[in-house]
Amino acid sequence: MKRIFFFIIVNIAILLVLSIFLYLIGFEGILQQNGVDLNYHSLMIFSLVFGMGGSFISLYMSKWMAKSLAGVQIIKLPRNDFEKWYFETVKKQSNILDLKMPEIGIFQSEAPNAFATGASKNSSLIALSTGLISKMNKSEVEAVIGHEMSHVANGDMVTLSLIQGVINAFVIFFSRIIGHFVDRVILKNDRGYGIGYFFTVIFAQIILGILASTIVCWYSRMREFRADIGGAQLSGKENMISALKALEKFSAAKLPDQMLAFGISNKGQTSTFQKLFSTHPPLRKRIQALENKNITTITNQHPAA
């Protein structure tokens, strides 16, 4: 219930902020002054504001959402041996990658998982599940941390938000063009918009959104391979492979929807249709990709691209 409440509040806040922004810039709607024809310039502004704006506001709120929705407990002062080791490991990898030390935290979940989020490379958060900490040895946990630190170093959170924002803008833009066509040509409404327009826009936005999400998921899968290589460079190839094999043995932690793409594992999918909408490749493929690649552990420089 708490997660649903936060989700609703966040989305209402985003809509409110973007609506105020449109009002302040003098936006008057997507129709031309005659109230009949579509104003493509206004529609483009509307689509970009809500598409890109919503995506980047979510990005800038991502650490807050992680703490609120995933229940991440931030470690400010290490209280035990593991937390001290966790802190020193992240600090060491941050120095290697020439990054500002991210916030670190732990969230409650019996299954092993981890994620990285944040608005920029130097304003990030790394979080581990309690299940990952209890079920993996330190070499494997170090590899998982390296994987997440590689996401941060590669700027994956920003790039994924940019891609999502562009796709959102296209979906908003074309769904309203389709709605306008149905309202004017098929339903022959010649003033304002009727209920047919709104139903068509909602339906088109759902269908286009589902199709467009395959692009976001494809990029997300590709970045997992890169982050695995980064994790292997930071902690050792065998440690990264061992960590992925450990993840195979357990079910992935259930993260909030907003965090799923940033987790180290969602177990992948088996059917062709499911694979199109999976944010992660199957763990077996990730293991095979590492096994077939020559990787050198680094200690004092940024890993090769």
Does residue 145 carry a pLDDT above 80? Answer: yes
Mean pLDDT of the chain: 87
Residue 3 predicted with pLDDT over 70: no
Query: Which of 9-23, 56-70, 101-115, 260-274 bottoms out in mean pLDDT, i.e. has the lowest?
Result: 260-274
pLDDT of amino acid 2: 52
Domain span including residue 196 = 1-305
User: Cα separation of 85 and 204, whole Å?
Assistant: 51
- How many of the other CB atoms lie within 10 Å of CB of 174? 16
What total of structural domains would you count in the chain? 1
Active site residues: 148
pLDDT tens-digit readout, 159-182:
999 999 999 999 999 999 999 999
Rounded CA separation 200/211 (Å): 16
The residue type found at 52 is M
pLDDT at 156: 93
Question: What confidence score (pLDDT) does residue 305 get?
Answer: 37
pLDDT interval class at 231 (50, 70, 90) = very high
pLDDT digits (tens, 9 = 90+) for 176-203: 999 999 999 999 988 889 899 999 999 9
At 26, is the secondary structure helix, strand, or coil? coil
Residue with more model confidence, 197 or 10: 197
Q: Which residue has the higher pLDDT, 301 or 276?
A: 276
Which candidate, 107, 106, 141, 149, places its Cα nearest to that of 124?
149
Asked if the model's pLDDT at residue 99 lies above 90, the reply is yes
Q: Which pLDDT score is estimated for 5? A: 59
Over residues 264-291, mean pLDDT: 78
* pLDDT computed for residue 250 by the predictor: 78
Residue 192 confidence (pLDDT): 83
Q: Please indicate whether residue 26 or residue 262 has the higher confidence score (pLDDT).
A: 26
Lowest mean pLDDT among 75-89, 223-237, 249-263: 249-263
Q: Is the pLDDT of residue 45 over 80?
A: yes
- In the predicted structure, residue 262 carries a pLDDT above the cut 90: no
Band (pLDDT 50/70/90 cuts) for residue 23 is confident
User: For residue 146, what pLDDT is reported?
Assistant: 97
Tokens of residue 157, six digits: 């959170």
Least confident of 140-144, 219-223, 272-276, 281-285: 272-276
Instruction: List Cβ<8 Å contacts ≥24 apart for 275-281.
Output: 276/214, 276/217, 277/213, 277/214, 277/217, 278/217, 278/221, 279/217, 279/220, 279/221, 279/224, 280/220, 280/221, 280/224, 281/221, 281/224, 281/225
Calculate the alpha carbon distances from 64 to 47, 70, 198, 292 in Å.
26, 10, 33, 39
pLDDT category, 72, cuts 50, 70, 90? very high
pLDDT of residue 10: 67
User: What is the distance between the alpha carbons of residues 132 and 263, in angstroms, rounded to a whole number?
Assistant: 12
pLDDT the model gives residue 140 = 96
Number of other CB atoms surrounding residue 13 within 10 Å: 12
